[in-house]
């Protein structure tokens, strides 16, 4: 075994060594501390090893945000001790664990630590918990820290808690830890030259990255680490580089779905005399060092999950990186030597980047968190010290889901079913599926199906989960073997009854995603889900011809989500579902613009069967007409002249004076159909029958009582000219317009206004009604350009009066009397 003196010789040059003693003292005196250290300082490796010697007895838990980082950290520390992982240093993650009775430093992924704390609230035998790279702000890290602080406050005041990060709002986290001392370490980064090369707006990201890689290989020395948003972009970039780089250059992808061997190959230094191009997601931003990399190419993009509480769907978004992430990426070029960071955006755009990425807790499905909180005895997250409290809409949706699964009672406390769901180490929907399948003797199959959805890449990447399940069963890779082993343990914990018939993956998935049962509609590959949302498959996908699917994963907009994982469903399975309703309803027919009544059997938004019944009338028909407008837009009805003019007048006052004058734009009227449209259409069964009077009365009903009396005063329909004539005012543009013959305004010394001072835009016309001038300042016109207009008009219309001073003349609509 390599002795500790040799280890110290190898690591003493790392900057963090200068603060190890102050850090140990801070933890000893306060029990809590924050270590701020830039990339390359050595904090991940040296702090746990130092605390092993100088800290209190007991195990040290080091939390890492990613499996790759956890495994790499454990291997690095073990190698410094002359050991293999599983001895003094071990690691624990979902599908890969190496620990033993001798293990004193245990590197774990953040979700593993949360489960450790939930199962053993005293964290028996653990002396120190270290949260590494906390700036990444995963949901599991936030929850783990909240649990650790709660345990320290209530059960283990001797427990040491250390938060470490390279880029972090240090003061805020220190305050969360009870004004914990902050220790700062300098970095050992070599100088990095930042370059910018703006990507053309229409250029594909893989083309720009591939071009930049080839240019850097041709002009610079060293290996390259290129950051791309996701696996698909990495694959396409690798295809573009294939055969177009030197024979001495290896292309290595690096992302979460790769096997451990493939990931290890990517982070190993290139062999002597060779170069490497590593194409990575943000997995390579922190905690690992790829020796030999001196060039960073940053696409400036990353993939982030975004949860929509209204749909219960988490979709992946491609977004710009934060400034902190861009700095982290650039810093990778200076870990072992001076380097270059090429950013594929304009230099001026850097200042517009968000300072930090948003915490995962603000944009995630919180059902698992709420379940764990209930197990901890907490119904209100505010009882724990979260860096950011979870948002109320996502919490409400999580509680709603858990109650529908029987996991929470009406008092938001954990039920017996909830305990069983939580014990399975799966997302709540999938755990409920396994438990239900277990009653039918299919717990193992359902657990394997759950593994496909919680471990990306198992069984391939196809959309059909039935086919992936078959491939997973035949896969003999170490990762697949480990996943099947975990599935077997989950199945055993769930319990298994006697099998009654073969396992149907689609039928099992219904118990996890009843709201995502989908029926084909309007074209091959297009589906409507029971929750009312649309979803699509490519027309050539083998599943696209199925009448029914259950969708396990999708991304994109709510109206046209792209299906990522699904199973076919037999109609007989759907017909056996308990939520089917039989009712009579009115629906709007887009082709005839009318209402038709039908007797339907429906499952949520899915109409399983229907037959026509007698045409409806009354409020039900009016409501259906309103639904037609909501779905297809207000353009389906043409506002007659009187109603259109009233709408324009009200709209003008809303724009100029604001509320309480109502919003009568298309969006505003669609939002308030139940107030102005539906009550005035009782008895109508088609939009063609809608009358001008009903639309006018409906619009007037939007005006509160005091405003109705002010409408004609503030936005009059007509203007009374000095001649006594009443001329219509138009409100169909951004400002009110009066078209009037110029002679009818003679003698007027003040510009006409409405609505308490809004000037009318005067369209002044000739005696023949042709436009000659527009003005918002009539006195200025009389004193200014009237002279030129008069000269022109006298020649064109000699029989009409054209006075030199029209402000003092008498208004007229006639020509000059004969003889004048």
Q: In this structure, are residues 273 and 296 in contact, taking their beta carbons and an 8 Å threshold? A: no
Tokens 């704390």, located at residue? 117
Neighbours of 482 (CB within 10 A): 17
The DSSP element (H or E) to which 399 belongs, if any, is helix 392-404
Tens of pLDDT, residues 545-566: 899 999 998 887 666 788 999 9
Nearest 5°: phi and psi at 183?
-110, 130
Domain covering 192-361, topology? Rossmann fold (3.40.50)
CA distance 737 to 756: 16
Q: In this structure, are residues 393 and 366 in contact, taking their beta carbons and an 8 Å threshold? A: no
Neighbours of 216 (CB within 10 A): 21
Residue 655 structure tokens: 């724009």
Residue 199 structure tokens: 């990507």
What SS3 class is residue 703? coil
Cis preceding-peptide flag for 655 (omega within 30 of 0): no
Tens of pLDDT, residues 304-318: 877 776 666 676 778
Average pLDDT over residues 331-359: 89
CATH tag for 4-184 (out of 3.50.50.60, 3.40.50.300, 3.30.300.30, 3.10.20.440): 3.40.50.300
Compute the Cα dihedral for 142, 143, 148, 152 and give only its sign. Answer: positive
More confident residue, 457 or 646: 646
In the predicted structure, residue 544 carries a pLDDT above the cut 90: yes
Q: In this structure, are residues 5 and 53 in contact, taking their beta carbons and an 8 Å threshold? A: no
How many helices and strands, by DSSP H and E, does the chain display?
28, 31
Please, what is the Cα angle at 309 between 307 and 313, to 5 degrees?
A: 50
Domain ranges of the chain: 4-184, 192-361, 424-576, 579-710, 718-808
pLDDT of residue 1: 40
CA distance 510 to 571: 13
**Strand partners for 602:** 581, 607
Tokens 């950011």, located at residue? 388
The pLDDT-based confidence of 817 (bands split at 50, 70, 90) is low
Average pLDDT over residues 714-723: 94
The strand pair at 548-555 and 561-568 is best described as antiparallel
Tens of pLDDT, residues 388-435: 999 998 899 999 999 989 999 999 999 999 999 998 989 999 999 999
Least confident interval from 301-315, 495-509, 580-594, 697-711: 301-315
Neighbours of 587 (CB within 10 A): 16
pLDDT of residue 2: 45
Q: In this structure, are residues 583 and 602 in contact, taking their beta carbons and an 8 Å threshold? A: yes
pLDDT of residue 285: 75
pLDDT of residue 69: 86
pLDDT of residue 820: 53
In the predicted structure, residue 4 carries a pLDDT above the cut 70: no
Residue 81 structure tokens: 């001790």
CA distance 683 to 624: 12
In the predicted structure, residue 497 carries a pLDDT above the cut 80: no
Tens of pLDDT, residues 100-119: 999 999 999 988 999 999 99
Average pLDDT over residues 531-537: 91
Tens of pLDDT, residues 651-668: 999 999 988 899 999 999
CA distance 213 to 225: 9
> What is the share, in percent, of the chain residues with pLDDT greater than 70?
96
What lies within 8 Å, CB to CB, of 124 at 6+ separation is: none
Residue 526 structure tokens: 């297009």
Average pLDDT over residues 38-52: 89
The pLDDT-based confidence of 331 (bands split at 50, 70, 90) is confident
CA distance 212 to 197: 9
Tens of pLDDT, residues 579-619: 899 887 888 888 888 888 888 899 988 999 888 777 676 78
Q: Tell me how long the chain is.
A: 820
In the predicted structure, residue 58 carries a pLDDT above the cut 90: yes
Instruction: Please choose, from the candidates 539, 561, 548, the residue with its C-alpha nearest in 3D space to the C-alpha of residue 519.
Output: 548
Residue 412 structure tokens: 């938001």
**What DSSP designation does 811 have?**
P
Same fold, 4-184 and 192-361: yes
The pLDDT-based confidence of 680 (bands split at 50, 70, 90) is very high
**What DSSP designation does 386 have?**
-
312: left (phi over 0), alpha (psi -120 to 50) or beta: left
Compute the Cα dihedral for 218, 220, 225, 226 and give only its sign. Answer: negative
pLDDT of residue 513: 92
Half-sphere exposure in the Cβ direction for 315 (13 Å, CA):
18
Q: In this structure, are residues 707 and 660 in contact, taking their beta carbons and an 8 Å threshold? A: yes
Residue 39 structure tokens: 């990339």
What lies within 8 Å, CB to CB, of 319 at 6+ separation is: 301, 302, 303, 304
Tens of pLDDT, residues 148-174: 999 999 999 999 999 998 766 788 899
Residue 444 structure tokens: 């193992």
pLDDT of residue 223: 93
Q: In this structure, are residues 417 and 495 in contact, taking their beta carbons and an 8 Å threshold? A: no
What lies within 8 Å, CB to CB, of 456 at 6+ separation is: 256, 257
Please, what is the Cα angle at 762 between 760 and 763, to 5 degrees?
A: 145
First CA to last CA across the chain, in angstroms? 124
pLDDT of residue 214: 95
Give 242: exposed, middle or buried? Use CB within 10 Å, 0-12, 13-18, 19+: exposed
Please, what is the Cα angle at 113 between 111 and 115, to 5 degrees?
A: 75
Q: What's the mean per-residue pLDDT of the chain?
A: 89
Average pLDDT over residues 490-515: 88
In the predicted structure, residue 263 carries a pLDDT above the cut 90: no
Average pLDDT over residues 265-290: 84
Tokens 């603000």, located at residue? 362
In the predicted structure, residue 349 carries a pLDDT above the cut 50: yes
pLDDT of residue 557: 64
CA distance 233 to 239: 10
């Amino acid at each position: 075994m390599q002795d500790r003196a040799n280890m110290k010789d190898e690591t003493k040059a790392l900057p963090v060594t200068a603060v190890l003693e102050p850090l140990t003292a801070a933890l000893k005196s306060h029990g809590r501390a924050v270590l701020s250290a830039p990339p390359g300082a050595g904090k991940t490796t040296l702090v746990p090893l130092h605390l092993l010697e100088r800290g209190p007895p007991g195990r040290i838990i080091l939390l890492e945000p990613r499996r790759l980082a956890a495994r790499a950290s454990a291997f690095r520390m073990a190698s410094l001790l002359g050991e293999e992982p599983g001895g003094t240093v071990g690691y624990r993650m979902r599908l890969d664990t190496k620990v033993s009775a001798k293990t004193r430093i245990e590197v774990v992924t953040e979700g593993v630590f949360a489960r450790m704390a939930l199962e053993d609230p005293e964290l028996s035998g653990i002396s120190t918990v270290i949260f590494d790279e906390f700036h990444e702000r995963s949901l599991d890290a936030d929850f783990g820290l909240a649990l650790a602080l709660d345990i320290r406050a209530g059960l283990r005041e001797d427990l040491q808690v250390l938060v470490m990060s390279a880029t972090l709002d240090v003061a805020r986290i220190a305050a969360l830890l009870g004004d914990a001392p902050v220790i700062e370490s300098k970095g050992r980064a070599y100088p990095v030259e930042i370059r910018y090369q703006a990507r053309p707006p229409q250029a594909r990201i893989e083309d720009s990255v591939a071009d930049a890689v080839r240019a850097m290989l041709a002009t610079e020395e060293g290996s390259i680490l290129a950051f791309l948003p996701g696996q698909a972009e990495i694959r396409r970039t690798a295809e573009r580089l294939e055969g177009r780089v030197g024979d001495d250059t290896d292309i290595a992808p690096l992302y979460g779905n790769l096997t451990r061997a493939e990931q290890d190959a990517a982070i190993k230094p290139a062999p002597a005399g060779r170069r490497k191009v590593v194409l990575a997601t943000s997995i390579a931003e922190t905690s690992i060092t790829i020796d030999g990399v001196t060039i960073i190419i940053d696409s400036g993009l990353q993939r982030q999950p975004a949860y929509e509480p209204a749909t219960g769907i988490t979709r992946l978004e491609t977004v710009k990186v934060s400034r902190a992430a861009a700095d982290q990426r650039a810093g990778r070029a200076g870990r072992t030597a001076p380097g270059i960071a090429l950013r594929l955006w304009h230099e001026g755009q850097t200042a517009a980047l968000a300072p930090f990425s948003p915490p995962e807790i603000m944009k995630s499905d919180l059902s698992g968190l709420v379940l764990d909180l209930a197990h901890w005895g907490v119904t209100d997250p505010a009882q724990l010290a979260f860096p950011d409290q979870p948002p109320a809409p996502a919490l409400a949706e999580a509680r709603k889901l858990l109650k529908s699964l029987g996991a929470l009672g009406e008092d938001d406390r954990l039920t017996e079913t909830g305990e069983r769901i939580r014990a399975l180490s799966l997302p709540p929907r999938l755990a409920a599926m396994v438990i239900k399948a277990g009653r039918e003797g299919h717990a193992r199959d359902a657990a394997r199906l759950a593994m496909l959805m919680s471990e990306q890449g198992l069984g391939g990447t196809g959309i059909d989960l039935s086919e992936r399940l078959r491939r997973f069963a035949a896969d003999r890779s170490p990762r697949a073997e480990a996943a099947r082993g975990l599935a077997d343990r989950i199945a055993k914990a769930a319990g298994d009854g006697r099998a009654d018939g073969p396992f149907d993956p689609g039928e099992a998935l219904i118990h996890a995603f009843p709201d995502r049962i989908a029926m084909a509609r309007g074209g091959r590959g297009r589906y409507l889900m029971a929750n009312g949302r649309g979803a699509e498959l490519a027309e050539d996908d083998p599943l696209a011809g199925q009448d029914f699917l259950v969708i396990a994963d999708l991304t994109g907009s709510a109206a046209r989500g792209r299906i990522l994982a699904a199973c076919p469903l037999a109609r007989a399975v759907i017909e056996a579902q308990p939520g089917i309703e039989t009712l009579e309803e009115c629906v709007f027919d887009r082709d005839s613009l009318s209402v038709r009544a039908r007797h339907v059997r429906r499952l949520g938004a899915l109409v399983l069967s229907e037959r026509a019944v007698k045409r409806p009338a009354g409020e039900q028909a009016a409501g259906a007409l309103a639904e037609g407008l909501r779905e297809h837009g207000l353009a389906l009805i043409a506002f007659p002249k009187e109603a259109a003019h009233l709408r324009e007048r009200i709209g003008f006052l809303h724009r100029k004076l604001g509320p309480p004058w109502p919003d009568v734009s298309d969006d505003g009227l669609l939002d308030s159909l139940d107030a102005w449209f539906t009550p005035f259409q009782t008895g109508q069964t088609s939009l063609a029958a809608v009358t001008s009077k009903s639309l006018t009365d409906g619009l007037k009903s939007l005006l509160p009582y005091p405003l109705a009396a002010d409408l004609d005063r503030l936005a009059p329909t007509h203007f009374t000219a000095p001649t006594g004539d009443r001329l219509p005012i138009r409100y169909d543009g951004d400002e009110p317009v009066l078209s009037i013959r110029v002679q009818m305004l003679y003698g007027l010394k003040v510009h006409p206004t409405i609505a308490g001072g809004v000037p009318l835009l005067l369209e002044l016309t000739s005696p023949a009604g042709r436009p000659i001038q527009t003005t918002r300042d009539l006195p200025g016109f009389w004193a200014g350009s009237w002279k030129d207009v008069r000269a022109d008009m006298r020649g064109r219309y000699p029989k009409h009066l054209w006075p030199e001073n029209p402000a003092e003349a008498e208004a007229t609509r006639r020509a000059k009397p004969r003889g004048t």
